[in-house]
Amino acid sequence: MSKNRAYFPSLVDRFLTYVKIDTQADEKSETRPSTTKQHDMLDLLVKELQALGLEEVEKTDYSAVMATLLANLPPDFPAPDKIPTVGFIAHVDTYASTPGANVKPTIVENYQGQKIVLNEEKEMVLDPEVDEGLKNLIGNDIIHTDGTTLLGADDKAGVAEIMDAVTELACNPDIHHGEIRVAFTVDEEIGRGADEFDLEHFRAKYSYTMDGSVLGEVEDETFCADSATVKITGYDVHPGYAKDKMVNAIRVASEIVGSMQTDKLPETTENKQGYLHAIEIKGNVGEVEITFLVRDFEESGLKTLEDILEGLCKDAEKKFPGVKVEMSIKEYYRNMKYELDKHPMVMEVARRAMRGLGIEPITRPIRGGTDGSRLTLMGMPTPNIFAGGENFHSVKEYVSIQTMDKARDVILEISKLWAKAAADGEI
């Protein structure tokens, strides 16, 4: 028996509830999830999925919430066993380096191109001359914060869209679809979202992350990503007696960062250009540790950038006798395009869904990564679809309600199209 849609929150109400829950990740933590407060949202999602009557609702031992919406097909459907189980995935955590507590969402209705004041005291505004995405949202309703925290549209917009879509499917028996699995992950922002993700247990043949930005995005190519840690060991001694003895690790760190090629930084690169990005320096005269992000669309490009960084470390050792500079590399994720190209129907269905809704698909490389990057390479093709947020990770983050509505509609359309493709013998 279908449920009454009126009994459940709207997409916007869900989103406003979710963004007020602090789920900021912590890259220094070794627990899973990295912050216990992520359980607050996970536990809420479990209750909401159970209230919808979905099957197999659970929070796994690796802190992913999963659930099943059973297939809904007409009796004469010709090929029910040929419809692949399809998954939709979003992450509950927010960016580790921007405040995520006490989010105060505000809605600007029927936006008309004006500057939006976020915080008068800080003289912080959203200006369409700077934030050009606003120019495409004339007439939309915009949600933003007070400029002291991020909004959390990355990726609570995706969570809300998936929840609203499965609510519609659970309440509307006229929409025919195969089995659908949903998953909400933790710690995506610190590169651990797919850690321990059990593909066999999830059992979706194909999935989609709802973790993109502007209307129409459907992405099948991401960065390859590593991190590099440079540990500098100097020699600290009383500065009054330091002549020919002290080796100041802080000066060495400054030399390394200051010598980075200016055309290989995130602020000077675009499109498919890779970069090195120093994101944290900590330490003292005796020892300093620098953390770098290394990004490129090709593994060979990663190696080139890492060789450049290693060269800077060796040059610093030569310039500062007595210093010891060590570099270590940690692999995060790899470009998912090469695997997705082996499964063209996954992208084809997404594009058909958008075009059927009057949305022109935008396919371009993501200068970042998603859970789908790793899940694809683990064996479950998982491209990324727009969720509507812009200025991710920033206190100027915002989202269009109308774009979120359309993202929800894309989920519904994808669900229908996989069933139709099976009925038409395409798969």
What residues act catalytically? 93, 188
CA separation for the pair 105, 397 (Å, rounded): 11
CA separation for the pair 334, 369 (Å, rounded): 9
Phi, psi of 235 (to 5 degrees): -140, 120
Structure tokens at 240: 């009054």
| 124 three-class SS | strand
All residues at 6 or more sequence positions from 417 whose CB lies less than 8 Å from its CB, including other chains? 349, 352, 353, 356
* Contact of 332 with 263, CB cutoff 8 Å: no
Nearest to 69 by CA among 51, 83, 56, 82: 56
CA separation for the pair 276, 415 (Å, rounded): 39
CA separation for the pair 157, 424 (Å, rounded): 33
All residues at 6 or more sequence positions from 300 whose CB lies less than 8 Å from its CB, including other chains? none
CA 41 to chain centre: 17
| 89 three-class SS | strand
Dihedral sign for Cα 394, 185, 223, 87, please.
Answer: negative
Nearest to 211 by CA among 386, 336, 354, 376: 386
Neighbours of 40 (CB within 10 A): 13
Neighbours of 146 (CB within 10 A): 18
Pairing type for strands 86-91 and 180-185 reads parallel
DSSP per-residue letters across 190-238: GT-TTTT--HHHH--SEEEEEEE-STTBEE--B-EEEEEEEEEE-B---
